[in-house]
Amino acid sequence: MLLGMGSEAVPSTLAELTERIRPVTLTAERRLPVLPAFATLLPGAGLRRGATVSVGSAVGVGGGTSLALALVAEASQTGCWVAAVGLASLGFVAADEMGVALERLVVVTAPTRDAWGGVVAALIDGFDLIILPADRVGARPAEARRLAARARERGVVLLLVGVGWPEGADLQLEVSRARWEGLDNGHGHLRARKVRIIRGGRGEAASPRRADFWLPGPDGKVQEVALAPVRSLRSLR
Amino acid sequence: MVGLRTLVVQCTDWSITAAGVSPQVPAAVFHANRVTATSPAAREHGVALHQRRREAQSRCPSLLVIAGDPARDARAFEPIVASLDALTPRVEITRPGEVAFPTRGPSRFFGGDEGLVSRTHAIVSEVLGERGRARVGVADGIFAATLAAEIARWTAVVPVGGTPAFLAPLPAATLDRPELVDVLGRLGVGTLGALAALPERDLLARFGKPGQAAWRLAAGLDERPPALGPPPADLTVSTVLDPPADTVAPAAFLARGLAEELHDRLWRRGSACTRVVIGAETEHGEHLERVWRAEGILTAAAIADRLRWQLDGWLQGSARHRPTSGISRLWLTPEEIVPAGGPQLGFWGSDIATVDRASRAVARVQGLLGMESVAVPEWRGSRDPATQVVLVSAAAVDLTAARPEAHRDRVVGPWPGRLPTPSPAWVHGDPPGAEVVDAAGDVVLVSGRGALSAPPWRVSVAGGPWAEVLHWAGPWPLEEWGWDTARRRRRARLQVVTTDGQARLFALELGRWRVEATYD
């Protein structure tokens, strides 16, 4: 059969075959990298491209914004472009300290209510990660669904800060407890914060998990808090 | 191998001419807030390349400001390229305003290089008329020919074999490689002649490919060793336009896809192209072709740009140059291909395609919300978290270029009174009012010596519920602009953690507490 084919048909057949036997993209390749500290917290040790991620904190606890910045840091360092919409009072110094590359961060002023959908859709075409306040876009469930679908198709991560996203996000992270260290009635200054993060979500993130982190630690880095260390072996004697 | 004898035509200040501005008018073209071209009249006033707009305007208040538009430059250039078709079929466009072609055939026909040069100059000057000026140079190799044109008043011919001697006294800075030239300068190699006198092998060993390329140029050779043969024919990519396009928009839409197809096809063979033929066929069977070349490697975006510019030039030209019917087929043929090296990456290591994508999205959002709606952060020296990094309109910066302003190390010098790290994740542009009271219920105050009237007990933000103070630190006095009575500010700051776990930065100014920032 093969011998019967015209010789000019062979290269195109070969090209076709190459296409067919090419390995499919592994799920792990479709992830944006995150700080090593989050490796065990996030499924696949990364942010799945096309996922919606909600980041928040329990009422009165705080820490959601820092967590959002820490999540995008590694991807931003490795060349991804990040857009923040409607978050003009973001602390950019804090973003830099968390490791976000400011030269690949673009800030868009909050659009009017009607323009949100169009603006986020335009950003989805050009950026790898988009940070937005959940309640502003989520006001219209149909719009939210449309944007999530578009992000999934283009492989863009939508990071929703706060509550108010009508759909359950694919990955849900919540700071449930936060404790600051460094202040001492008039002395010292804020140095480090220990937070407990609860993970929930759908699909691969469905099984709940929780872990304690330094956000940031005394050295300014985000790290998973190790289990209570043994203070001293001598006391055991 | 001596460089191929080449003729270069340069239209001086082409961007100004293309904008339809007379050379007598002080005018400058700007891209990303920097001067990219000036008219002779503007130069007399001291306007120079790379100046910021404000500086240029302060040098010359009557300066005509023109927005940079490569498509306009290319469109206006097409008639000039078309006029050179009378001399040779092989005109290569280096960039809008500059063309080159090998002189071997036409030179013999017009009676030597001198004859060809004066003829070329006459033809181009006639098309240009009063709008601008052209310079023509001939030498061995395009690099020397370009320099000859740049130095010439009208025309310059470097005699056959005289190229190394012509190049020798020129400064090494004429090589468009600032990093390399900088190092060479510190090594005492200041001229092209001194560079050419070094052994090629040593330059290759020390500086790699760029070093070798620089040596070849300085020695009057072609930048790259000549290719062994023409690239295989099957690399041509083409597309059929149905219905035929007689406006730019539908054809330009296909340009991108075609350019990417060519780039991908080359990339898969490990090659990239430096010279590409853009061809088009019209319904009436007219055959249009133009060659574009680049000094470096043509990326997919660069090929797409050139294709779009060329279509613009063909379809929007004057009636005399325009094809008589719509374009029905488009093709791209790589004419010179080289092994694909590293220069695909941007200066700071990012993928050019990603930057392109992001800039396009930014442009679209600017279209939706207005030019000022998109901003990028830049570092400034300051004590306030709100002004340490400021937002600058994206319309005023070039996202595709390296931006040292976006790096923290740009800020030098200590700023005493700056907040200790970690910095707050929210910095309130319009700080909400707050109440900070002591155990007796009185407002906490700070004395002139920086002492608190009493420890804070509970706080309320913007009239909200009271929250009890768990920990606090401060007060940190901050005095700014002490020498300027109008701008003088005195504040005292307090870091407070309330029992619910929230940390905030309070500031007392003129007897009123505000929340400056939140450590969210």
Q: Would you state the pLDDT for residue A173? A: 92
Q: Does A76 touch chain B (CB under 8 A)?
A: no
Dihedral angle over CA of B129, B131, B133, B138, nearest 10: -70
Q: Is residue A227 part of a domain?
A: no
Confidence at A107, pLDDT banded by 50, 70, 90: very high
CATH number of the domain that residue A121 is part of: 3.40.50.300
Q: At B314, is the pLDDT very low, low, confident or very high (cuts 50, 70, 90)?
A: confident
Comparing alpha-carbon positions, the chain A residue that sits nearest to B496 is A183
> Hey, which CATH number is domain B5-218, 3.30.70.270, 1.10.357.10, 3.90.1010.20, 3.40.50.1820?
3.30.70.270
Tell me the pLDDT tens digit for each residue of B162-187.
Answer: 888 999 999 888 887 878 888 888 88
Chain A residues 142-171 with a CB less than 8 Å from chain B: none
pLDDT of B88: 84
Nearest to A62 among B402, B495, B520 (CB): B520
Our CA angle for B145, B210, B199, nearest 5°, is: 85
Write down the pLDDT at residue B312: 85
Query: Cβ of B517 and A109 within 8 Å?
Result: no
| Parallel, antiparallel or unpaired: strands B155-157 and B512-518 | unpaired
pLDDT at B202 over 90: no
Which of the 8 DSSP states describes residue B52? Answer: B
Q: Do domains B5-218 and B233-339 have the same CATH topology?
A: no
- Is the backbone of residue A25 left (phi > 0), alpha (psi -120 to 50) or beta? beta
pLDDT of residue B229: 53
Exposed / middle / buried, residue A6 (Cβ in 10 Å: 0-12, 13-18, 19+): exposed
Of A79, A93, A111, the CB nearest to B354: A79
State residue B350's pLDDT score.
Answer: 43
pLDDT at A131: 94
Taking only residues 33 to 62 of chain A, the set having a beta carbon closer than 8 angstroms to any beta carbon of chain B reads 57, 60-62
Give residue A1's pLDDT. 43
Q: Which of B190-199, B309-318, B333-342, B510-519 has the lowest mean pLDDT?
A: B333-342
What's the gap in Å between the CA of A164 and the closest CA on chain B? 18
Residues B174, B204 contacting (CB under 8 angstroms): no
Rounded mean pLDDT, A59-77: 90
Q: pLDDT tens digit string along B97-141?
A: 999 998 888 888 888 888 899 999 999 998 888 888 899 999 988
Alpha helices in A89-235 (DSSP H): 92-98, 116-124, 134-137, 141-154
Of B301-305, B363-367, B375-379, the range with the highest mean pLDDT is: B375-379
Nearest residue to B506 (alpha-carbon basis) of A34, B463, B113, B514: B514
How close does chain A come to B520, measured CA to CA in Å? 4
- The dihedral formed by the CA atoms of B398, B400, B404 and B407, expressed in degrees to the nearest 10: 110
| Sheet containing B287-293: order of strands | B155-157, B134-140, B5-11, B98-102, B92-95, B287-293, B271-282, B327-339, B237-245
Q: What is the pLDDT of residue A130?
A: 95
pLDDT tens-digit map of A203-217 = 888 888 889 999 888
State the average pLDDT over residues B473-478.
85
Domain topology for B233-339: Dna Ligase; domain 1 (3.30.1490)
**Residue A200 pLDDT more than 80?**
yes
SS3 of residue B370 by DSSP: coil
CA distance B351 to chain A (A): 7
Q: How confident is the model at residue A27 (pLDDT cuts 50, 70, 90)?
A: very low
Q: Find the CB nearest B455 among A62, A177, A185.
A: A185
Q: Give residue B75's pLDDT band: very low, low, confident or very high (50, 70, 90).
A: confident
**Position A114 in a domain:** yes
**Chain B contacts of A192, Cβ < 8 Å?**
422
**CB B424 to CB A94 under 8 A?**
yes
Q: What is the pLDDT of residues B398-411, one digit of tens each?
A: 787 778 788 887 77
3-state secondary structure of B139: strand
Report the residue from A88, A111, A126 with minimal CB separation from B362.
A126
Contacts of A113 in chain B (CB under 8 A): none
User: pLDDT class for A95, splitting at 50, 70, 90?
Assistant: very high
Q: Taking CB atoms and an 8 Å limit, are A61 and B502 in contact across chains?
A: yes
Name the residue in chain B with its Cα closest to that of A70.
B425
Paired sense of beta strands A52-57 and B287-293, if any: unpaired
Give the lowest-confidence range in A95-104, B38-47, B297-306, B510-519.
B297-306
Owner of token pair 């929230």: B502
State the pLDDT at residue B391. Answer: 87
Cα gap A67→B507, rounded to integer Å = 25
ipTM of the complex: 0.82
User: Domain boundaries in chain B?
Assistant: 5-218, 233-339, 368-410, 426-518
Does the beta-carbon distance from B422 to A81 stay under 8 Å? no
Domain that residue A67 falls in? 48-171
CB < 8 Å to A218, chain B: none
Q: What does the pLDDT read at residue A84?
A: 95
Alpha-carbon span B228 to B337, nearest angstrom: 10
- pLDDT at A235 exceeding the cut of 60: no
Q: Give the distance from residue A209's alpha carbon to the nearest chain B alpha carbon, in angstroms.
A: 22
- Residue A5 pLDDT > 60: no
Considering only the C-alpha atoms of chain A, give the largest distance between any 2 of them, rounded to a whole number of Å. Answer: 90
The two three-digit tokens of residue B352, written as one number: 């050019």
The pLDDT value given to residue B342: 46
B440-467 pLDDT tens trace:
888 898 887 888 888 898 999 888 888 8
CB pairs under 8 A between A and B: 184
Measured over the CA atoms of residue B301, residue B306, residue B311 and residue B312, the dihedral's sign is positive
pLDDT at B246 over 90: no
The minimum CA-CA distance between B43 and chain A, rounded to whole Å, is: 33
Give the pLDDT score at A236: 46
Beta-carbon separation of B351 and A79 below 8 A: yes
Tell me whether residue A184 is in a domain: no
Quick one: pLDDT at residue B228? Answer: 45
* Percent of the residues in chain A that have a pLDDT greater than 90, as a whole number: 35
**What tens digit of pLDDT does each residue of B21-69 get?**
888 899 999 888 889 899 989 999 989 888 888 899 999 999 999 988 8
Residue A72: predicted pLDDT? 94
User: What whole-number distance in Å separates Cα of residue B486 and Cα of residue A71?
Assistant: 43
Tokens of B8: 């270069």
> Distance between CA A66 and CA A215 in Å, rounded?
7
Which residue in the set B349, B360, B365 is minimally distant from A119, CB to CB? B365
Mean pLDDT in residue range B362-380: 86
Least confident residue range of A76-80, B412-416, B423-427: B412-416
**B8 Cβ contact partners less than 8 Å away, ≥ 6 residues apart:** B94, B98, B99, B100, B136, B137, B138, B142, B145, B146, B148, B149
- Say what the pLDDT of residue A101 is: 92
Out of B407, B421, B497, name the one closest to residue A180 (CB).
Answer: B497
Mean pLDDT for chain B?
A: 84
Distance from CA of B182 to the nearest CA of A (A): 26
Q: Which residue of B has its CA nearest to A57?
A: B520
pLDDT of residue A52: 92
- Span B249-265, mean pLDDT? 81
> Of B15 and B301, which is predicted with more confidence?
B15
Distance from CA of A120 to the nearest CA of B (A): 9
Mean pLDDT of chain A: 83
Residue A126: which of B360, B424, B518 has the nearest Cβ?
Answer: B360
Q: What residue in B sits closest to A106 (Cα-Cα)? A: B376
State whether B422 and A107 contact (CB < 8 Å).
no
Lowest mean pLDDT among A25-39, B376-390, B505-519: A25-39
pLDDT at residue B475, rounded to an integer: 87
Nearest to B520 among A63, A105, A125 (CB): A63
Using DSSP, state whether B451 is helix, strand or coil: coil
User: Quick one: pLDDT band at residue B520, thresholds 50, 70, 90?
Assistant: confident
Query: pLDDT class for B288, splitting at 50, 70, 90?
Result: confident
Strand partners, B339: B271
Judged by CB atoms closer than 8 Å, whether chains meet at B385 and A122 is answered as no
Res. B251: pLDDT tops 70: yes
Best residue in A49, A61, A103, A120 for a mutation probing chain B (most B CBs within 10 Å): A103
Query: Do B358 and A63 lie within an 8 Å CB cutoff?
Result: no
At residue A156, does pLDDT exceed 70?
Answer: yes
B502 interaction partners in chain A (CB closer than 8 Å): 60-62
The torsion angle over the Cα atoms of residues B197, B199, B205 and B210, rounded to 10 degrees, is 40
Q: Which residues numbered 193-212 in A keep a CB inside 8 Å of some CB on B?
A: 193
Is residue A21 predicted with pLDDT exceeding 90?
no
- Interchain pair B359, A69: CB under 8 A: no
Do β-strands A129-133 and A157-161 pair in parallel, antiparallel, or remain unpaired? Answer: parallel
Nearest CA in chain B to A102: B406
**Residue A107 and residue B424: Cβ atoms within 8 Å?**
no
Count of structural domains within chain A: 1
The predicted structure's pLDDT at residue A232: 54
Contacts of A197 in chain B (CB under 8 A): none
Q: By C-alpha distance, which of B438, B442, B444 is closest to B457?
A: B438
In this prediction, residues A55-83 reach a mean pLDDT of 89
> Does residue A162 belong to any structural domain of this protein?
yes
Residue type present at position A126? G
